Amino acid sequence: MIIVMAAQTVKEGKKPEVLALAQPLMAATRQEEGCVSYTLFDDPGDPQRLVFVEEWTSKEALKKHLTTPHIAEWRAKVKDLLAAPTVIKLYEGEETPL
C-alpha cells in the first residue's frame, strides 16, 4: 500500500475557499480505481495548513491519479490560493494486525 501525506500552506484567509474547492476533488478521487482512502485534514495547530492523507493500492494507481482531469483542475484553481509549494511525502506500508 502507498500512503501519501500532501501538506499545503494556504494564504491567510483562503482556507474556506480551498476547503470548498476540495470537495469535488475528493468525491472524484474516491471513485478512482486503486484509491483506498482520500481525506483532507485541517491542521488545528496551524491555521494555514491542510494535509491530504491518501491510501493507494499501488504506485501505478497513484501515478494514474496524478494525470486525471480533476487533479489538473484542482491544481489550476488553488495555485493562487497557496502560500508555498505542496510538500508531498510517500510511504510504503502494509496492514499488520495488533
pLDDT at 19: 95
**Domain annotation covers residue 37:** yes
> What domain range includes position 69?
2-92
Is 98 within the bounds of a domain? no
Mean pLDDT taken over the chain: 96
Percent of the chain with pLDDT over 70: 100
Count up the domains in the chain and report the number: 1
Predicted confidence band at 98 (pLDDT cuts at 50, 70, 90)?
A: confident
Whether 97 is in a domain gets the answer: no
Whether residue 95 has pLDDT greater than 90: no
Residue 52's CATH number: 3.30.70.100
Residues 17-64 pLDDT 10s:
999 999 999 999 999 999 999 999 998 889 999 999 999 999 999 999
Computed on alpha carbons and rounded to an integer, the radius of gyration of the chain in Å comes to 14
Q: Do residues 81 and 11 make contact, with C-beta atoms less than 8 angstroms apart?
A: yes
Q: Which residues of 12-48 are buried (b: 16+ CB within 10 A; e: fewer)?
A: eebbeebeeebeebbebbeebebbeebebeeeeeeeb
